[in-house]
Amino acid sequence: MTERSVDDVVFDIGGVLLDWSPDYLYDELIPDAGLREHFLTNIATPDWNAQQDAGRTWAEAVSELTSLHPEHAEWIEAYDTGWLKMARGLIEGTAELITELREQGIPTYALTNFSAEKWEVAKEAFPILTGFTGEVVSGTEQTVKPGEKIYQILIERYQLDPARSFYTDDKDYNVVAAREVGLDAETFVDAATLRTQLRERGLPV
């Protein structure tokens, strides 16, 4: 058995544990592919959504965007009221891994860019999200990855040894930022690859 080199495992959520995409909702709401792409690329943009991850309320976000694009009010409101339909479900292999780690007594943490409001919605819908040893949610902290501050909040709040804390994220730039603060971090490819990465660090999964 490989000597164990990490004490805890830190997970990004979207794209790692939760299969989430606006397309899952808007494929139904806007059947026309061209209209849908225009709306999600130029109106309800990723940058607009990211401001909720940084702490802006959904009420403020919807009101502001609707005032700019009143003709799309219904679609804009649906981004808020229909948010859960964007979460297709858990990425099962990752969910199984988290369960195994917890059963082994290995601490698991969430470090995620996520609206504070929608994090509560997601936890109610997916109970596995309630079982982390600790969580750092960008919307609550009002600071986002890949900024250094959110990683430092995780390390300091839970008194982690960065070198012995493994972090997985589907965004390469977030992994780079994690390594810069000393975390042992790898890009998430799929659950099987993650399992191999954890085994290489001596974890019994």
For residues 76 and 114, membership in a common domain is answered with no
The two tokens of residue 130 are: 């309630």
For residues 79 and 156, membership in a common domain is answered with no
The per-residue pLDDT for range 7-24, each reduced to its tens digit, is 999 999 999 999 999 999
Of 33, 68, 86, which residue constitutes the final position of a domain?
86
For residues 12 and 112, membership in a common domain is answered with yes
The two tokens of residue 21 are: 């995409």
Of 69, 86, 103, which residue constitutes the final position of a domain?
86
For residues 166 and 139, membership in a common domain is answered with yes
Task: Work out whether strand 87-90 and strand 184-187 pair parallel, antiparallel, or are unpaired.
Answer: unpaired
Please state the rounded mean pLDDT for residues 141-154: 98
Chain-centre distance for alpha carbon 11: 8
Look at residues 172, 179, 186 and name the one whose alpha carbon lies nearest to residue 155.
179
For residues 53 and 116, membership in a common domain is answered with no
The per-residue pLDDT for range 68-105, each reduced to its tens digit, is 999 999 999 999 999 999 999 999 899 999 999 999 99
Cα gap 19→12, rounded to integer Å: 12
Percent of the chain with pLDDT over 90: 99
For residues 97 and 156, membership in a common domain is answered with yes
For residues 79 and 153, membership in a common domain is answered with no
Please tell me the predicted confidence (pLDDT) of residue 2: 80
For residues 143 and 196, membership in a common domain is answered with yes
Chain-centre distance for alpha carbon 55: 15
Q: Which domain holds residue 59?
A: 21-86
Does the pLDDT at position 125 exceed 90? yes
b/e sequence 101-110, b meaning 16+ C-beta within 10 Å: bbeeebbbbb
Taking a C-beta distance cutoff of 8 angstroms, is the pair 188, 169 a contact?
yes
Residue 25 domain-assigned (yes or no):
yes
Of 86, 104, 124, which residue constitutes the final position of a domain?
86
For residues 132 and 195, membership in a common domain is answered with yes
